[in-house]
Amino acid sequence: MTPGTGSAPGERAARIAGLAEVRAVRPESIAEAAERRVRRRTLLGESGRLMLLAADHPARGALAAGGDALAMADRGELLDRLCVALERPGVDGVLGTADVIEDLLLLGVLEGKVVVGSMNRGGLAGASFEIDDRFTAYSAAAIAASGLDGGKMLLRVDDEDPATVRTLEACARAVSELAGRGLMAMVEPFISRRVDGRVRNDLSPEAMTRAVAIASGLGTTSAYTWLKVPVVADMERVMAASTRPALLLGGEVAADPVAAREGWRRALRLPTVRGLVVGRSLLYPPDGDVAAAVDAAVELL
């Protein structure tokens, strides 16, 4: 499969439909595509900002977007939406697990893009072991071997769940291993607790301040550590807890996209906030217009 999907929906659909054949008869083409991919020289573009698409939700069994519980279950549709978004001006790259990244590599849409591999997806959404977020996806070694630009990890700290310490230890090890290779370690921290049996993140300023402080201290060096954080109340106080560069996450599809964008706009004024990592909010907007949703987010940067 040669690079480039083209902008025509019919051509793009045909190329996506051909992925299964390529994977069945030429699995080595994935490594070949990774080897020839043109990498960007720096994480940040000329604007000093970073705009990434998040597509690592399915590997944790989190398939919902908006009111549709299985919105992200159709891989062809997800890839089509990612291709549309990646073609928009100002989109710097993507965050995903190996399966998604490799599909995009085969489609040839990651040339000159920042590509971040998602690492711990073992804390499946809704599972009894959700806090024990094992590293079941990319390792630091695999990220380096694939020519990716960094690795992302989810860290949920539940003071009542002993499994938290295993995730803390694994994240600290990943931060160190990525830094040893000169690669970004993107840590997404939360203080969490179970409510009626389900893990819920505490989005109060006090909880997020504590989460940021914990994440900032992971590993043998913080030289390559970035944070991925939600927009919450009193963001100035929350972000004052660390000097690590940070990216804002998009979270669930917002009922009011305009209000969500305004929250991003205010937070982007803070000195450590360098951009956005948004998935469902842009890939599955309420009106279905992916290009318009992406363009509106890019305008904030």
| pLDDT tens-place string over residues 51-84 | 999 999 999 999 999 889 999 999 999 999 999 9
Residue % of the chain over a pLDDT of 90: 89
In a domain, 34, yes or no: yes
* Token pair of 85 as six digits: 């978004």
Q: What is the mean pLDDT of residues 178-201?
A: 97
In a domain, 2, yes or no: no
* Token pair of 265 as six digits: 């706009």
CA angle 149-155-158, nearest 5°?
180
pLDDT of 1 strictly over 70:
no
Total of domains in the chain: 1
Q: pTM of the entire structure?
A: 0.94
Q: Are 12 and 5 in contact (CB under 8 A)?
A: yes
Q: How far apart are CA 247 and CA 226, in angstroms?
A: 8
CATH code at position 229: 3.20.20.70
Q: Are 12 and 83 in contact (CB under 8 A)?
A: yes
CA 265 to chain centre: 19
Rounded alpha-carbon distances, angstroms, from residue 235 to 5, 158, 264: 39, 22, 10
| pLDDT tens-place string over residues 204-263 | 999 999 999 999 999 999 999 999 999 999 999 999 999 999 999 987 766 778 888 899
What mean pLDDT value characterizes the chain?
94
248 DSSP β-pair partners: 229, 276
Q: Are 242 and 214 in contact (CB under 8 A)?
A: no
Domain of 23, in residue numbers: 9-300
